Amino acid sequence: MARAVVTMPAQAKRGEIVEIKTLAQHPMETGFRRTQTGELIPRDIIRRFTCTYNGVEVYRADLHPAIAANPLISFTTVASESGALTFQWTGDNSYTVTEIAPIRVE
């Protein structure tokens, strides 16, 4: 079920700022909604998103229930060396999704 999509250029010039768009499939249940019979629906959200570039963390976001379902996060990073970017989403109910995207830097 758990799926995530990352959109970014596969190659870049050294020092270029690349734009990265990430989308995770997740309901982001707030924990404030109730069912028709009045029971509280337990919270189920993604708590943290991290992006590491060849093992070094370059971007980290702490998410709260106010983030809409299927969180879309877009940001930038400097293309410094060839290698791989690792994206990880972690959250409630031991939700973990990891995506790896290679990048070639000339």
Partner 1 sequence: MTTRREFLVLAATSLAVPEAARAQLDPNLAANRKAAFQEALHGIVGDTQVRRGRVKLQLPPLIDNGNSVPFSVVVESPMTEADYVRAIHVLTEKNPLPDVVSVRLSPRAGRATLSTRVRLADTQTVTAIAQMSDGSFWSDSAEVVVTLSACLEEGLI
Copy the structure tokens of residue 90: 């972690």
* Residue (of 95, 72, 76, 94) closest to 85 by Cα position: 76
Smallest distance, Å, CB 96 to partner 1?
19
Here's the x/- map for partner 1, 13-52, by CB under 8 A: it reads as ----xx-----------x-xxxxxxx--x-----------
User: Dihedral sign, CA of 60, 64, 72, 48?
Assistant: positive
Determine, following the binding rule CB under 8 A, whether residue 11 of this chain makes contact with partner 1: no
Residues in CB range of 55: below 8 A, 6 or more apart:
none
How far is it, in rounded angstroms, from Cα 45 to Cα 65?
A: 7
Smallest distance, Å, CB 58 to partner 1?
5
Here's the x/- map for partner 1, 73-92, by CB under 8 A: it reads as xxxxxx-x------------
Considering only 4, 8, 24, 67, the residue that binds partner 1 (CB under 8 A) is 67
